Amino acid sequence: MRIGAVVLFVLAGASCTGGRGPRNGDLTQEPPAYEVHAIRYGTLAQFPVASLVAGADPARRMDIALMVWMIRDPGSDRIVLLDAGFYRDKFITRWKPVDYVRPSAALEPLGVRPEQVTDIIVSHVHWDHLDGADLFPKARIWIQRAEYEHHVDSGGRPRRSTIDSLDARMLADLHRAGRVQLVDGDSVAILPGIRVFTGGKHTFASQYATVSTASGTVVLASDNAYLYENFDRRRPIAQTLDSLSNLAAQERMLRLAGDISRVVPGHDPVVFIRFPAPGAGVARIR
């Protein structure tokens, strides 16, 4: 174990409070070379691109991918999700996703059962990223403290319309059960080889993650960058509280990954073209 790595994870443990402490071994383990998969659990058809890319033609439409991202340590039982998708009937009825499967079932092609998921990093509180968190009965939930406290009151009610009332109650229940780990701020190593960053400003304190893999650092942007087009055109996301902060976050993602090929945007179906294997709605990010 490198001394620097020990210090890094001790500091990370001090920055993550409000739930269970890190599991045994989290503070001393060498960062593994994770396997990262994008998993498509449905599609929103003919979605307006102007709601994704600032300044896009209002007439443009595209079918966008609904995704969660699985981070698996081949040397242990650690299986981490970035985001948890959605499953409640109200969202399915309203948004009518195409080719939809529950996010918990979408893991089956990779041989993963819901109870095997050890951790879920919630990038932000929108329904399509948070709602499925309670599908995974043993997972610890990582969310920014500022995001949680800005959106959920002490009684489990929403403080803002950003979060659905059912999801606010669910998240508060998980917190009372000791399953929510509140992360304090930017550039925090929450697990060996996994670090979260703020500044994307899709919501009040949305976060994205970097993951150590055999091929280098992979950045999972979630909705802090919806499409590769955001990067290619240097355009902020259309739904942001601070466009300049969002652009700065996108530039930072590119620096962290070293290359756009290792940055994964939140809803771009092109992910499954750039990474075609193993297929059938699953993309291994290499």
* pLDDT at 2 exceeding the cut of 50: no
Could you give the percent of the chain with pLDDT greater than 90? 89
Residue 30 banded pLDDT, cuts 50, 70, 90: confident
Q: What is the pLDDT of residues 61-102, one digit of tens each?
A: 999 999 999 999 999 999 999 999 999 999 999 999 999 999
Average pLDDT rounded to a whole number, residues 236-256: 98
Q: Would the pLDDT of 24 be above 50?
A: no
Out of 21-35, 53-67, 141-155, pick the least confident.
Answer: 21-35
DSSP the chain: --HHHHHHHHHHHHHEESSPPPPTTTTTPPPP-BEEEEEEEEEEEEEEGGGTBTT--TT-EEEEEEEEEEEE-TTSS-EEEE------HHHHHHH--BS---HHHHTGGGT--GGG--EEE-----HHHHGGGGGSTT-EEEEEHHHHHHHB-TTS-BSSTTS-HHHHHHHHHHHHTT-EEEE-SSSEEEETTEEEEE---SSTT-EEEEEEETTEEEEEEETTS-SHHHHHTT--BSS-S-HHHHHHHHHHHHHHHSSGGGEEESS-TTHHHHS-SB-SSEEEE-
Mean of per-residue pLDDT scores for the chain: 92
pTM score, whole prediction:
0.91
CATH at 32:
3.60.15.10
| Residue numbers of the domain that contains 207 | 3-285
Q: How confident is the model at residue 31 (pLDDT cuts 50, 70, 90)?
A: confident
- Domains: count for the chain: 1
pLDDT of res. 17: 60
Once rounded to an integer, what is the mean pLDDT over residues 5-16? 42
Summarised one tens digit per residue, pLDDT across range 129-175 is 999 999 999 999 999 999 999 999 999 999 999 999 999 999 999 99
pLDDT for 19: 53
